[in-house]
Structure 1
Amino acid sequence: MSATTACPKTRAFQLRRNPLTGDSEWIVVEEGGDRQELEETTSKNLLATTSYLDMLNDSYRNWAFRAAIEKTIKKPCHVLDIGAGTGLLSMMAARTMVKFGEASKAKVSACESYLPMGKLMRRVLRENQMEKKVKVFHKRSDELLVGVDFQSPAEVLVSEILDSELLGEGLIPTLQQAHDMLLAKNPQTVPYRATTYGQLVESPFLWKLHDLFSNEINLSDGIHLTPAGLERVIGIKKQQYAMHCTAMSREIRLLSEPFKIFEFDFWKKPESHGEIEMSIKASGDGNVIAVISWWVLQLDEEGSILYSTAPRWLNCPDNGMVENCIPGNENWCDHWKQCVWFISGAGLPVSKDKLVLFKAAYDEIKISYHLKCDDQTCCNNFNFGNCLLELSPERVAVYGDKDWRLGFINAMRNTLNVRSAPLCIVADDSVFLTILISSLSKNTNIISSFPGLQENGAQYLRAIAYSNGFSMDRVKVIGKRASYLFTDNLIQQKVDFLVGEPFYYGNEGALPWQNLRFWKERTLLDSILAEDAVIMPCKGILKVCAMSIPDLWRSRCSLKKVEGFDHSVVNETLGACGDLPPMLEGPCLPYYIWQCGEVEELSEILPLMEFNFLEPIHTCSGKIKIEFSKLGICHGFALWIDWVLDNKKSLIVSTGPTSRYWKQGVKLLSKPLVVEAADSFAEIEAFFDHSSGEITISSFSPS
């Protein structure tokens, strides 16, 4: 029986966020339907925002796994692939065993619990005539049973369930269960081992991403998001943050040599917890702001095939440490980055050649660090009060940005001066605007929706109200979308001000125009707005710039052969660019442009479309001709929204690449455009669908 008919029809659900409401919606995805059903369920970008395509374009990664699999498998056997994805490793294992003959003893079991990807894997297997050599299971590995799903334990495990931190995709519990229930004694594994490394660094940029209190000390605008005595009332989660640290290398000062932290062996059952203490010698005077970490993957038992996620400054370093000169980090890729662990508060002062006591611990899903000075004072245990709001590092940096705050302060002062006893609705999760309005106007009543922050936002306001000189008697937090004001009968008068940043908690990594949810909220509240109500921001402008972004384009380009296996069938589903069929374009995806490797602007920044928030939400479009200002290769366009705070357009908050705290939308071309003449141009068109909240971007280049 072929693998395509071995499993009965099953049903799974895909969670999708509605950009206009913030609600989560479930999409039914059924297994066992025909090709048309498959294309319909997978063509809605369910997989385009994942890292699968980027990973499959990582040629060194693919080679390393192939080389290690061919070196490890030395006879026909049972191979288990956990987290099989497109089935690449499974096919590598099956192909390796062909040369040994004895086909009856060669078995490959591919476990992929994510149903849309499992369906795509079946297509890849068919295209490569591998559907009878690889048996697919649409289950979690802990749902597989020896004697039920397959007759004997696997002698070889091949898997790639690693994230940038290493453990975040459930590596430890997956290996534990596999060794207990699915693998033979003394199995062979690819990879064989992973080792994590770290380095102490100083960085003004990284400091701004987590220490709001120290940043506010340098401001004098009278707004205190983190008042004295409540220094930690706003903070970030204590976790590893995946970042492209090479992009900020000029803003990083190294304060130690690289040091080894943990080793994780795949060939034996790992422990659920572990910790280590060591002394790290400071390489210079400075202030440790963060620990940057990465890992090195040993794919074969002998240690001849390695892969590293180290930052590029460690590629053949001056100290000649051979373990750092490992392939893997030469080419930009987005599926694995370095990780940043922020040190609490203003950091840890160190002196050259002095020792820092470094403690690391891991559990089943994460790794954490603690640092102590020579005097044994732990810099991670400052008691600054309870952290009531855990925000993203970029949001913390925005709230500490002088120019960003000043723009809103000036706009709000100009607005509040023309009203008496007004009613204001903060339509998003902006604690800053709630505090600002409460501080500037003693007679304004405020309703803050806080649909994402909810009760945490209310507790936070109560904690800092006194320090900012306002009473909570004038502030009401509803903890849900502003449109719920109707059902809860909270509106007794017309609304004079409707404001937002816009910022919706939990939506920080989305496309910039998904904050047009503010426009939807404004529309739902239209009947209770005063005739002369002030809407802030009053307008959004979609901006565009032609870009040379070769590293990003390479990581998203269409696949052909991957280590000898045809993957062209996945291109449309995974949102690839390049070599696409006519009239088919890849999706627009969110990226921090400044972290996308080599980047260059090739045109002026131009407005593409405007959204007028003084009017109810409606469908709109825009089309412009972009003339190139530089010669080079255009790989696509960066798009973002500038929020216009006042009718005079004098106060604008931009979310473009010059500010590194917001992601931009990136529209990659199907084929890079070589700009060889000064009069070269391209056209780009945008269409906003007010019913779905989505923007469709189309680009046209002269032939």
Structure 2
Amino acid sequence: MYAGTDKYGGGVVGEDFKDAEAAAPNLEDILDTASAEETVVTSMPYSYLDEDTNEVVEGVSSVVLSSRLNPESGGLMWVEEEDSAETYKNVVSMSQMTSMLRDLDRNAAYEHGIRRGIEKFIATHHRRPIVLDIGTGTGLLAMLAARHGAEHVYACEMFQTMADIAGAVIDANGLCDKVTVFSLRSTQLTVPEHLPVRADMMVSELFDSLLLGEGLLPTLAHARAHLLTPDAVVIPQHATVFAKLVASDTLYRMNSFDQTHIDSLALARSKDAWKCTGGARVALPLHINTIPDVVDLTEVVPVLSFDFGTTRCSNKKATTVVTAVASGRADAIVMWWSVDFGDGVTYCTASSGAQNWQDHWVPVVFPLTTQHVVVAHADAVELTAYSDSLRIWFNVAHPPQAATIKRAKVDEKDDDIAAACICGLHLICNAERVSMLTNKPRTDAYAAALRDIVAGLVAHPTSEQERSSLSVLDISDGSFGALLAASIDQVANITSIESKQVSALIFEQIASHHALDDRLTILGCGVKGLLVEHLHGQVPVDILVGEPFYYAMQNLPIWQALNFWYRRSAVAGTFTHSFPIPNTLISLYITTSDCASLLTALLRLTFVGVNEYVP
């Protein structure tokens, strides 16, 4: 997978399986879990008979698939892309690359660190350094190193399309004789095959909002062992992680279903389901200043530090005792990081305005659903931070004795295993979906609308609806509308269509827990070919419901709306003849900011290069 997939854009999935000894995943499984905005790259075997030699030729070819909405019955259909290069360009345009290129604070900080590092190296060694740039992207850091005096820069980029862009940009800036780009992972580089000698300096930007999630530490460890000199300079060299404890029911509800109801029904598959703590250490990148109910319970404190210039990148555990500045329930920890480029130049991801606004590195929220800590003003609170090669996570407790702020010794981390999910919903719901389902005003609005429709049909039944009860069909994933309908006594026949089997299983368990099996049927299938005979009670549909929500399209709301319409058209044969179809005008309102600048940046990235991004 290229750079993973975040909630803001697309990604490439299926490319991790390069090891010849590793079993590649089944294509059906890949497509079942892929999202609509993702691009799937898979290897497909082929064989044919060579008529000249009369021999069977066998091999494996790379196939690029992207999704389309199926206009006949809704859902995704995966189509092979003949022009893979153009598809990969779309992947780049959907990534955070443009946001990062336009982050002038980031660019200036890196330029300062690179210039300062090269100047110090030349002053000490009386020669120009050989520089290694890992994950070069568009080649910006490599060009900065070349401009500020590097003897030569060797840059690697695992994504072929991005490596091609880097090569074109470097050539456009007249630096192709100073920078060599390899379309390889850094772990595939060797000395002297790719680098003639070990590099004196390494520059990289392998950071995500959680600092370590893009694999900086293992990448650095490999580079030190195979590609760098023993005293190599690493830019940036230092990073500090900061954190604070906050109270916020909104943040807490991004990972907890405790006391959540869908109208009158508890959203739980067992009596213990509400005790579920999430089943994993959840880390949510958020613009925290957009959450209205956040109350700081402690001051901001440094909790972890990393020196990338040392060879020791082991797991860490650090405890900090802080004093509460307010009273409340400890709902979440908010974390951000600061990177030091020397001479007081830093880059910080705090939401306090330390840098210009950007969207690629944001604070990270850790909902504390596994711990129920309530603090009072002036209480001592023990905040423990852990890290391994890829993650950072936290623990909160009241210490036995701690009256003042202090830092504890940094130790190797101990085992801190998250409890398994027992509610099932965390297996199928991301944080956005959890917050939707736990949003009571949202649920109440849907419930009121459905109750109004039912009341209207009961008060003014047609000849076909003069039976004792109504029939509801839910064609959205998540069975939300079906559970709302099950809360209404006048609805006796409910059918819910789930596109994923695991979701169908979990909501079947929820229905059984509430003894709804005689009223509600959940089908794990599509809607193509759906007949009245397949519905609960085998009666026509009086009310069609949907949020709309679909797991594979949850990052694309317009796709979800269109998918609902396609599904509605596909199941029209199950409606009662008097099924109401009102004339409704749906307006989509979009607010944009500085679209001209964004379009200009995309065009520059795709067609011209990023000359102007080199200071």
Classify the TM-score, shorter chain: 0.7 to 0.9
Encode CA deviations 1:436-461: one digit per residue, 9 max, x unaligned.
Answer: 22332476343322224x32442344
8 Å Cα contact 2:168/2:609 also seen in 1: no
2:265 corresponding residue in structure 1: 223
8 Å Cα contact 2:477/2:549 also seen in 1: yes
Shift of 1:512: 3.7
1:238 aligned to 2:281?
yes
Would you tell me which structure has more strand in proportion to its own residues? Answer: 1
Shift of 1:362: 2.0
Letter in 1 for 2:502: E
1:570 aligned to 2:613?
no
1:197 aligned to 2:242?
yes
Q: Pick from 95, 98, 101 the counterpart of residue 53 of structure 1.
A: 98
Matches within 5 A, 1:93-132: 93-97=145-149, 106-132=151-177
Q: Tell me the SS of whatever aligns to 1:63.
A: helix
Q: Tell me the SS of whatever aligns to 1:478.
A: strand
Q: Pick from 127, 132, 136 the counterpart of residue 84 of structure 1.
A: 136
Shift of 1:568: 7.0
Q: Tell me the SS of whatever aligns to 1:544.
A: coil
Letter in 2 for 1:116: T
1:368 aligned to 2:415?
no
Matches within 5 A, 1:571-610: none
Encode CA deviations 1:87-135: one digit per residue, 9 max, x unaligned.
Answer: 000111112226xxxxxxx221111112222222222122112223221
2:35 corresponding residue in structure 1: none
Letter in 2 for 1:522: R
Q: Pick from 73, 76, 97 the counterpart of residue 22 of structure 1.
A: 76
Letter in 1 for 2:555: G
Letter in 2 for 1:190: I
Identity across matched positions, percent? 27
Would you tell me which structure has more helix in proportion to its own residues? Answer: 2
8 Å Cα contact 1:426/1:434 also seen in 2: yes
- Going from structure 1 to structure 2, the CA distance change for 1:229 and 1:568 (only over 3 Å counts) comes to closer
- Which stretch shifts more, 17-26 or 124-133? 17-26
Q: Pick from 363, 376, 384 the counterpart of residue 338 of structure 1.
A: 363
8 Å Cα contact 1:354/1:374 also seen in 2: no
Matches within 5 A, 1:369-448: 369-374=394-399, 386-390=422-426, 391-416=429-454, 417=458, 418=461, 419=465, 420=467, 423-441=471-489, 444-448=492-496
- Going from structure 1 to structure 2, the CA distance change for 1:366 and 1:26 (only over 3 Å counts) comes to farther
Encode CA deviations 1:669-696: one digit per residue, 9 max, x unaligned.
Answer: xxxxxxxxxxxxxxxxxxxxxxxxxxxx
Q: Tell me the SS of whatever aligns to 2:265.
A: coil
Q: Pick from 518, 525, 528 the counterpart of residue 571 of structure 2.
A: 525
- Going from structure 1 to structure 2, the CA distance change for 1:516 and 1:130 (only over 3 Å counts) comes to same
1:665 corresponding residue in structure 2: none
Shift of 1:196: 0.8
Shift of 1:200: 0.8
8 Å Cα contact 2:207/2:213 also seen in 1: yes
Shift of 1:214: 4.4
Q: Pick from 203, 226, 229 the counterpart of residue 181 of structure 1.
A: 226
- Going from structure 1 to structure 2, the CA distance change for 1:172 and 1:349 (only over 3 Å counts) comes to same
- Alpha-carbon RMSD: 3.6
8 Å Cα contact 1:462/1:472 also seen in 2: no
2:341 corresponding residue in structure 1: 299
- Going from structure 1 to structure 2, the CA distance change for 1:368 and 1:532 (only over 3 Å counts) comes to farther
Distance in 2 between residues matched to 1:521 and 1:571, nearest whole Å? 36
Shift of 1:374: 4.5
8 Å Cα contact 1:47/1:574 also seen in 2: no
Encode CA deviations 1:343-389: one digit per residue, 9 max, x unaligned.
Answer: 1179521012222222222233221111123479xxx9998971301
Shift of 1:264: 2.1
8 Å Cα contact 1:83/1:160 also seen in 2: yes
Shift of 1:423: 4.9
1:275 aligned to 2:317?
yes
Shift of 1:557: 6.3
Distance in 1 between residues matched to 2:364 and 2:132, nearest whole Å? 29
Shift of 1:525: 2.7
8 Å Cα contact 2:336/2:364 also seen in 1: yes
Shift of 1:270: 4.8
8 Å Cα contact 1:231/1:384 also seen in 2: no
8 Å Cα contact 1:194/1:265 also seen in 2: yes
1:586 corresponding residue in structure 2: none
8 Å Cα contact 1:108/1:133 also seen in 2: yes
Encode CA deviations 1:270-303: one digit per residue, 9 max, x unaligned.
Answer: 5353222332221222222111100010124xx5
2:331 corresponding residue in structure 1: 289
With the length of structure 1 as denominator, give the TM-score of the two structures.
0.65
- Going from structure 1 to structure 2, the CA distance change for 1:274 and 1:345 (only over 3 Å counts) comes to closer
- Going from structure 1 to structure 2, the CA distance change for 1:408 and 1:310 (only over 3 Å counts) comes to closer
Distance in 2 between residues matched to 1:246 and 1:415, nearest whole Å? 38
Distance in 2 between residues matched to 1:235 and 1:85, nearest whole Å? 35
8 Å Cα contact 1:234/1:389 also seen in 2: no
Encode CA deviations 1:501-520: one digit per residue, 9 max, x unaligned.
Answer: 10112533324444321112
Encode CA deviations 1:233-257: one digit per residue, 9 max, x unaligned.
Answer: 5958532111112333x63221111
1:357 aligned to 2:400?
no
Shift of 1:41: 4.4
- Going from structure 1 to structure 2, the CA distance change for 1:70 and 1:146 (only over 3 Å counts) comes to same
Q: Which runs of 5+ in 2 are unaligned?
A: 1-59, 402-415, 611-615
8 Å Cα contact 1:123/1:569 also seen in 2: no
- Going from structure 1 to structure 2, the CA distance change for 1:271 and 1:383 (only over 3 Å counts) comes to closer
8 Å Cα contact 1:197/1:295 also seen in 2: yes
2:349 corresponding residue in structure 1: 309
Distance in 2 between residues matched to 1:409 and 1:544, nearest whole Å? 24
Letter in 1 for 2:110: F
Letter in 2 for 1:501: E
Q: Pick from 180, 201, 207 the counterpart of residue 156 of structure 1.
A: 201
8 Å Cα contact 1:208/1:215 also seen in 2: no
- Going from structure 1 to structure 2, the CA distance change for 1:353 and 1:464 (only over 3 Å counts) comes to farther
8 Å Cα contact 2:267/2:510 also seen in 1: no
8 Å Cα contact 1:214/1:346 also seen in 2: no
- Which stretch shifts more, 352-361 or 161-170? 352-361
Q: Tell me the SS of whatever aligns to 2:273.
A: coil
Distance in 1 between residues matched to 2:419 and 2:143, nearest whole Å? 54
Q: Tell me the SS of whatever aligns to 1:387.
A: coil
